[in-house]
Structure 1
Amino acid sequence: VALPAADALQGNWSGRFALPPGGRVAVENIHGNLVVEGWDRAEVDVVVTKKALAATGRLADVRVGVEFGPQSLTFRTLYPGDLEEPVQVDYRLRVPRQVRLEGLRTLQGDITVRAVDGSIDARSLSGNIVDENVSGRVVAHALTGNVVATLRSLPAPGAALVLDTVNGDVDLMLPPRPNADVDVNTVAGEVVSNYVFTTDAALGDTTRRVRLGNGGVKVSLQTVRGNIRVGERCNQL
């Protein structure tokens, strides 16, 4: 399904799709922000806003492709063969609280996820990634931008919890009294935490580790040029 917009400096499109709890949602964007919020309905509500960044920006040439099935829903920004088209596309979605966000992608833009349980896989080349009040598996990768996560609960042991960036800070707030094994690595930055991290020669000079509680969930926090901040929601630094 291809959804065109009218020629203007700004155009909006909205839609609603049935999706059961535990379904999969993906967004593949190029230039623009993604905001995803959980709600207590078995459906996805989406609002897409297209903005011309220059007089030459043609909104009608930039489309949103939608692929949907009984258990999955994918939105994809489609440019007319030339990624230099000066049009920004922002997505705002409300999704079932129990959801698998296994493909949130944008090249230039921020990604924000709020109040979901399940799994999150978010990647941005240039932009911040913020996961607020979430639980379950979280993987967030940025090239230039900060990565921030506030967890309501940890994923099951064996599930991934990975936050990393190259140019930016990493900030993680864990639930109270977590059971986790946390590795942090920053090349040109500081680690700010009330936890006592130790170094391990086998891990390299820039990696530090701490076991919280009984351990179990593997947590990896990494940046090259930036600081790492880690604590608990009831004991914010």
Structure 2
Amino acid sequence: MAAAKERVRLSDCGISTVRMKRAVTGGLVLEVSGADCSKHADDLAAKMREALADMPVHIARPFKTGEVRVMDLDEAISPVQLAAAIANAGECQAADIKVGEIRQARSGLNSAWVRCPLSAVRKLAAAKRIRVGWASARVEVLAARPMQCYRCLETGHVRRQCPNSVDRSDRCYTCGETGHRASQCRADRPKCPLCADLGRPSDHRLGSKRCTPPKGRKKKPQALPANPRADEPVPASLPVPTGNTGPREAMEVSHSQP
């Protein structure tokens, strides 16, 4: 932040002051309020990326997102083409869309998981179908996922606040073994690593509807360090903070891997 204050002037972005808060991941959220706050936040983020390009920090423009599953895709559809189709139907930027691996469904056609801005999700939900290539693809809005720790795999907290000593970050979400990811798993039967460790029925994939580990007493999260370690990854974006004092837009500044 000292370098940012030396290299970037808020007045160049049409900003007088910003409101600061600490994100649950340890990143610093700068909140811009007032008229045209979205444009000013975009300008500030761009200038900070340029000014701090020589430093191991990650600058992001957080926004609320949702998840959908797009179905009935043919083999010729690529993630880039799918993102372009969703951007067109949802009236958003293709750069703000994340498309997962396109896989073959039981119907014989392909489907893909997609994360995009919440405003686009609402438009897709209303339309129910979008044009992708030659086909009319079905769109299914997915339920919001609970906050999950990618270290112990339990819900209710994130990695930086994990109160548990166990580390399951290298376990496959499908079979529970180590050495590969769920997308590469070739196991005949699923085995949830979290439920198996807790002595619960584990014949399912982690995070599925059948995954119901018992809820224990909530533990007090560990305090976040003032300066997060640079060797720990952080998510690219967080939901935009909301309030009742007028329009605001946020951006996140956090340490990233060198």
TM-score by length of 1: 0.24
**Larger relative helix fraction:** 2
Whichever of the two has the greater Rg, that structure is 2
Q: Which has the higher strand share?
A: 1
The structure showing larger relative contact order (alpha-carbon pairs under 8 Å, at least 6 residues apart) is: 2
| Structure-2-length-normalised TM-score | 0.23
